[in-house]
Amino acid sequence: MLPRYSRPDMVKIWSPEAKFRIWFDIEAHACDAMADIGVIPRESANAVWKAKDFKFDIARIDEIEAVTKHDVIAFLTHLAEIIGSDEARFVHQGMTSSDVLDTCFNIQLVRAADILIADIDALLEVLKKRAYEHKHTLRIGRSHGIHAEPTTMGLTFARFYAEMDRNRTRMYTARAEIATGAISGAVGTFANIDPQVEIYVCDKLGLIPETISTQVIPRDRHAAFFVTLGIVASSIENIATEIRHMQRTEVLEAEECFSKGQKGSSAMPHKRNPVLAENLTGLARLVRSAVVPALENVTLWHERDISHSSVERNIGPDTTVTLDFALVRLTQVIEELVVYPENMLKNINKCRGLVMSQRVLLALTQAGVSRENAYKLVQRNAMKVWDEDKNFQTELLADVDVMTALSKEEVLKQFDLDYHTKHVDTIFARVFKSQ
């Protein structure tokens, strides 16, 4: 978690102060629940809340942990120092450290998910705005990196919108799956703590009780969560890669905003590089690197081991902080992206009409020419454009076999660019159907 790629609200979720505050809430609510069912005295439960507004001493907890080699015990010892040893004697009764750690981790992931969903919402808004702005802005579509047929810049933005909209749904699903808590005690049998305590604590913290938790909450839930983050990151890279292509000198259909005073290269003063999109590509790789470890965390020994713990201490903060930053950066890039419609039209015309080859092919078959022969007629003229720098339309009009099947007007008709945008409204209605 580098400050360079971090935003304060997400970082705060993973701070020691936030973590210990959640630990306290879990323990205090558990005491309230146990008092309600008569397991511990009400006055003992009330005493715990004396620490409600206390600023926990991180250094002191670290000092205790250096001796105990156990983070939860260190916290509980510090809590007893605050509220008094006698008042603290019922704290953590019947619980195990995993009850605190796992429930806390899930709360942190839920809070992180809320920020990420808000980030995606903001990105969707910008993508929609740019899509409608360039709804009919003609652009060449490419397959295998080669000019194919005309499309529009609006459809490009709409495609990215639809992908991110699916990611929004995935994030809601991941949030729901991770929003569970477990207060079930050693090996998860509730032998020393009533299941009602778990229900009470989860309700207070906005969670649902884990169906069955052994001593840890099952890690398939967390795997699904981090896989979802990886998919969102891949979508970011998908968009960033398109921008990087568009900004290439020989393409220049769009480029990142180059602000006043910005420098492109330490050696070449003329450069304007797609540095933000390249950065997003790298950040996406970083987020995806957490996916395999999260999947491997699903396999734990028996009712508990901690092989997952060190992994999650890293990937929890790192992936959510990084993805939060990346989503916000991408939103800014899309918002400020400079689009060049004239260059897009120039690129369409670079192949001197070749991008209309399918239209000519279909016109010939409609005129009674077999598909095989029509393909040959079109291809032989297309190859002259590639190899001899000819004009496709001119060559077709000079081809006796083509002109036998088609009139001049029919040939010229196939080069109408608007033909390719006739269903843009239909596609937009599908993409933005709920808008």
Catalytic: which of 265, 307, 310, 370?
Answer: 265
Contact criterion met (CB below 8 Å) for 277 and 248: no
Task: Examine the residue annotation and report whether 265 is marked as an active-site residue of this protein.
Answer: yes
Catalytic residue, from 143, 144, 302, 434: name it.
Answer: 144
- Whether 92 is catalytic is no
Q: Which residues are catalytic?
A: 144, 265
